[in-house]
Amino acid sequence: MATAATVHAHAPQGFIRKYIFSLDHKVIGIQYFFLAITAVFVGMFLSLLMRIHLVWPAATLPLVGEIKPETYLTLLTMHGTIMVFFVLTTAPQGGFGNYFLPIQIGAPDMAFPVLNMLSFWTTFLAFVCIIAAFFVSGGAPLHGWTGYPPLSALQSAGPGEGLGADLWITSIAIFCLASLMGALNFLTTTLDMRAKGMTMMRMPLTVWSWFITAILGLLAFGVLLSAGILLLMDRNLGTSFYVPLVVVNGQIMQHKGGSPLLWQHLFWFFGHPEVYIAILPGMGVTSQILSTFSRKPIFGYKAMVYAMLAIGFFGFMVWGHHMFMSGMSPYSAFAFSLLTMCIGVPSAIKTFNWLGTMYKARIRFQTPMLYAIGFVSLFVSGGLSGPFLAQPVLDIQLHDTYFVVGHFHLIMGVAAIFGMFAATYYWVPKMFGRMMNETWGRVHFFITLLGTYAIFMPMHYLGIAGGTRRYSQYTEVAYLTKLMPLHQFMTYAAIITIAAQFIFVVNLFWSMFKGPKASDNPWEATTLEWTTATPPPHDNFGGVTPVVYHGPYEYGVPGAAKDYVMQTDPVSVPAAH
């Protein structure tokens, strides 16, 4: 067995091998994390421009000038794409998953370190590619993050649908390849590199969530890749997979016979599992944190695992509920509707188990816990509007309104972001060796929680009142004009909430360098990452291979000297006298 000294000697010393093209999963995790932070600020800036334009449509804005309707659609497209792919998919899985999955199962690294590095740099290339779309002739595309043809399949369909749209599709295709490489690595690592004693049912729920997410990614991104290739062929080789006979600006296009619905089926077969790819890691980290800060075992560990598996399984069978508006057969719609509501069952199991974990607990209300509770709150608030939209009859009324925007932002966007915040406050001490500022963490939490509810809850009322989405101006139609005060309220809330995110950034960077030094186990948690040094050494455990004797959430153990048992504690541990 390698000693700590020999392993330390093998750690790469040069700057480029150590920080740029590193094979160390921890460095790669941090690279993903900072890529996602960069992306989230780009995405947030675009949303700010949209919100300002909706309220002050005549305003000339910095960097973009006057916002035309097509510019608004560009902002909408790029906001959605960047947020879904480069934030919601990148940070929870690529960032925290990469850093902590090997450590939590007691492995020294990922199964394929070179592939891991390639996966990150391919993601980076995809990000560069999509940002480049802003700067090419015609600008970025305007077909929405869902890229529906014929708009996305015709170069002459609008500004941005030329080279900008090609770059958009290429970026997505590259991202698919990167995600597939990552998923392959996550699955192999989890299945084959667990430490002795780390049975599947002793894995932390975070590991389960990354594992199930990887399965979803492995099966879903291949379909999006295929769909993207067909779209590129329609655009550049003159095929007609998606494009029917269509007239653009009085010109009959050469395409005929294709089906835009074919794209919708392929896209949403990926798109719905993508929702769970974004949210499952948040569920995992929430479970981890709720148990740790409640000082109680997670309520129903096995039920939590099976619920996540069920959510992943059903996630592949409900894509049609995004297409009720497409003229779907009522029988198909009924099947998709029923299956969609089935997802409510495992989701409810998870929610009740989270509440059960906190019930009668002596909760430590520190910032990670606040964010985990915030996650549960947003998951419930956003999730409860799901069964409404799962009804085809209601969905046809609500689909193109702000109701849907409010729903998916709460459940998929902000809930997942809260999962990331919880993970950041929880794991930054381990990653960088320093604690984050608790006071500013709480300030950040309360402003963000109230702010996000202030932005997205009114959208539900707006939608019920008939407030259409995707429009750049609401000043020409009388009934929409009456809804403007609500828009103004949401815009003010957005400005305050976005401003509050700078508290987080300052706190993060200040703490990384100046925060109080973290001990090896500042939260008194039980999983393997807290058994090793802070920050972990190059091989994670300093040449020692951990052996696991306990489940991941043994808190409040009666008779023990302390109120928790680490996973590596021996079978018999000293009891209190």
Partner 1 sequence: MATYTPTRPIEHLDHGQKPPVPPAGGGGDEGRRDGGPSYGARLRRARLGLICAIATVGMVFVSLTSALIVRRGLPTFDDASRTYFRDWGGVQLPWVLLAINTVILLISSLTMEGARRGLARRAALAPVQSIPGVSLGAERNFPWLGVTVILGFGFLVGQGMAWADLRSRGFFVNTNPDSSFIYLFTGAHAVHLAGGIIALLWAGITSLQHKPIEGRRIVVDVAAWYWHFMGVLWIYVFALLAFAR
**Does residue 300 touch partner 1 according to CB under 8 A?**
no
Least separation in angstroms between residue 514's CB and partner 1 is: 30
Nearest to 419 by CA among 96, 131, 123: 96
Among 68, 128, 238, 393, binds partner 1 (CB under 8 A): 238
Quick one: which segment of 251-259, 273-281, 436-444, 503-511 binds partner 1 (CB under 8 A)?
251-259
Within 14-33, the residues that bind partner 1 by CB under 8 A are: 22-25
d(CA 545, CA 7): 12
Closer residue to partner 1 (CB): 273 or 382: 273
Does position 245 interact with partner 1 (CB under 8 A)? The reply is: yes
Taking CB under 8 A as the criterion, the residue among 38, 155, 259, 472 binding partner 1 is 259
Taking residues 493 to 532 in sequence order and writing x for each that binds partner 1 by CB under 8 A, - otherwise, the string is: ----------------------------------------
Listed in sequence order, the DSSP H helices in 56-145 are 69-81, 98-104, 113-132
Pairwise CA distance, residues 222 & 230, whole Å: 13
3-state secondary structure of 401: strand
Task: Give the shortest CB-125-to-partner 1 separation in angstroms.
Answer: 18
Q: How is residue 419 written in tokens?
A: 């999962």
Please tell me the distance from the alpha carbon of residue 539 to that of residue 526, in angstroms, as a whole number: 20
* Pairwise CA distance, residues 324 & 388, whole Å: 13
Q: Which of residues 175-214 bind partner 1 (CB under 8 A)?
A: 180, 183-185, 187-188, 191-202
15 CB burial (10 A radius; 0-12, 13-18, 19+)? exposed
Residue 97, interface with partner 1 (CB under 8 A)? no
Q: Which of 304, 307, 373, 565 lies at the binding interface for partner 1 (CB under 8 A)?
A: 565
Of residues 144, 222, 433, 466, which one binds partner 1 by CB under 8 A? Answer: 222
CA 489, CA 477: separation in Å to the nearest integer? 19
- Which CB, 112 or 510, lies closer to partner 1? 112
Q: Which positions from 456 through 475 interact with partner 1, judged by CB under 8 A?
A: none
Contact between 438 and partner 1 (CB under 8 A)?
Answer: no
Rounded to an integer, what distance in angstroms lies between the CA atom of residue 160 and that of residue 358? 50
3-state secondary structure of 522: coil
Among 98, 170, 171, 240, binds partner 1 (CB under 8 A): 240
- Find the binder of partner 1 among 83, 205, 230, 277 (CB under 8 A): 230
In the complex, least distance from residue 22 CB atom to partner 1, rounded to whole angstroms: 8
To partner 1, the closest distance from the beta carbon of 309 in angstroms equals 15
Residue from 345, 410, 413, 417 nearest 378 by CA: 410
Rounded CA gap, 478 and 466, in Å?
12
Is residue 537 within the footprint of partner 1 (CB under 8 A)? no
Q: Which of 226, 468, 473, 488 binds partner 1 (CB under 8 A)?
A: 226
Among residues 194 and 322, whose Cβ is nearest to partner 1?
194
Q: Report helix, strand or coil for 91.
A: helix
Among 248, 262, 464, 486, binds partner 1 (CB under 8 A): 262
Instruction: List C-alpha distances in Å: 283 to 375, 509, 553, 561.
Output: 8, 26, 15, 31
Contact call for residues 501 and 44 (beta carbons, < 8 A)? yes
Is the separation of the CB atoms in 496 and 447 below 8 Å? yes
Report the residue number, 76 or 225, with the smaller CB distance to partner 1: 225
Among 57, 69, 113, 522, the residue binding partner 1 under the rule CB under 8 A is: 113
- Cβ atoms within 10 Å of 254's Cβ, excluding its own: 10
Q: Quick one: which of 36, 379, 550, 553 contacts partner 1 (CB under 8 A)? A: 550
- DSSP labels for 484-505? HHHHHHHHHHHHHHHHHHHHHH
Candidates 132, 233, 380, 495; binder of partner 1 (CB under 8 A) is: 233
Q: Which tokens belong to 493?
A: 């809330």
Smallest distance from the beta carbon of 189 to partner 1, in angstroms?
A: 8
- d(CA 416, CA 275) in angstroms, rounded, equals 10
Which residues 45-84 are close enough to bind partner 1 by CB under 8 A?
none
The tally of CA atoms less than 13 A away on the side-chain side of residue 94 is: 34
For partner 1, which residue of 37, 76, 83, 107 counts as binding (CB under 8 A)? 107
> Which residue type, as a one-letter code, is found at position 11?
A
Among 38, 146, 155, 239, binds partner 1 (CB under 8 A): 239
CB of 369 to partner 1, least distance (A): 24
Residue from the set 531, 551, 552, 566 that interacts with partner 1 by CB under 8 A: 551
Among 52, 125, 265, 342, binds partner 1 (CB under 8 A): 265
Q: Does 325 bind partner 1 (CB under 8 A)?
A: no
How far is 419 from 371, CA to CA, in rounded Å? 7
